[in-house]
Amino acid sequence: MTTLKIGTRGSPLALAQAYETRKRLMKAHDIAEDKIEIKVISTEGDRIQDKALRDFGGKGLFTKEIEQALLDGSIDLAVHSMKDVQTQLIDELRITAHLPREDVRDGFISRSVSNIDALPQGAVVGTSSLRRQAQVKKRRPDLDVVTFRGSVQTRLEKLERGEVAATFLAVAGLRRLGLLGELTASIETDVMLPAVAQGAIGIECRTGDERVEPLVAVLNDKETEICVTAERAFLRKLDGSCRTPIAALAEIEGDQLRFRGEILAHNGERSFFDDRKGSIDAATEIGIESAQSLIEKAGPEFLASLVE
């Protein structure tokens, strides 16, 4: 077999996800490790480290260069954190498989207190996520929330230096990096609803690639695909961007799909929430209906204020 080339970002977490994909491909198809090359591709999002990404164009910043490598044939498949993937892909590319989803929860990390409610009045909290910023301000409007960028390791180092009293990281990322020991507490989803597709890994291929698509398709986890499909339909309907505090979670409960969605003002002072159930076979429709419900509850003025 000719070598498969996997494209990925170069962060430790992105590499861990690429190694996981390689391991699953090796096991599924009895492929030798030296037949699957991991190719690191620098993205604009990785190169911008000192500014908020929402000022530079949003989600595509972490995928654009990797997708270009797919299109020009220099890689055969791409491994992404699905929360970084734009909701509309061009026809030439498709998400062929979703790996089984990890823990969807946000993690609270502090060296001084056990949870967000225990933080002292006016404490400084760091996060690069507008969603987390809004959710924190909703729960604790007294806190000083600052933009906090960099890899998982970089953010942990900033915490150790005392730049902030606490930060938030996805539990899934900490687990994949073997850093669960850094976690102070996992935040239940009824307290902090996660980002769309948090904890999910997607594998992107060229549409109609008769060599690669069949190899990748067997890795697909159907439950993850259903839930991520609903969440991404919700985000697409809301036209969500990095400027919009949006949270969503779909979960399979028996033969039903439970969907929760939330949109928030940047300062957390106003928020709108939807909780519904429907058929597993109607994942896209459930996500769209939830988004439409929030649009009607919030009204056009509120939604317009989120993207200014």
- DSSP annotation string for 177-200: TT-GGG-SEEEPTTTS---TTTT-
DSSP 81-137: EGGGS-SS--TTEEEEEEPPP----EEEEESS-SSGGGSPTT-EEE-S-HHHHHHHH
What is the spatial distance between Cα 185 and Cα 202, in angstroms, rounded to a whole number? 27
For 275, list phi and psi in degrees, rounded to 5.
-140, 120
Secondary structure element (H or E) that encloses residue 145, with its range: strand 144-146
d(CA 169, CA 108): 7
* Residue 84 among the catalytic residues: yes
Residue 108's nearest CA partner among 197, 180, 190 is 180
Residue 239 has a CB neighbour count (10 Å cut-off) of: 14
Which two three-digit tokens encode residue 307? 């993207």
Catalytically annotated residue among 34, 50, 84, 275: 84
3-state secondary structure of 269: coil
Copy the structure tokens of residue 47: 């190169």
Q: Which residues contact 126 (CB under 8 A, 6 or more apart)?
A: 145, 146, 147, 148, 155, 158, 159, 163, 164, 166, 167
Residue numbers annotated as active site: 84
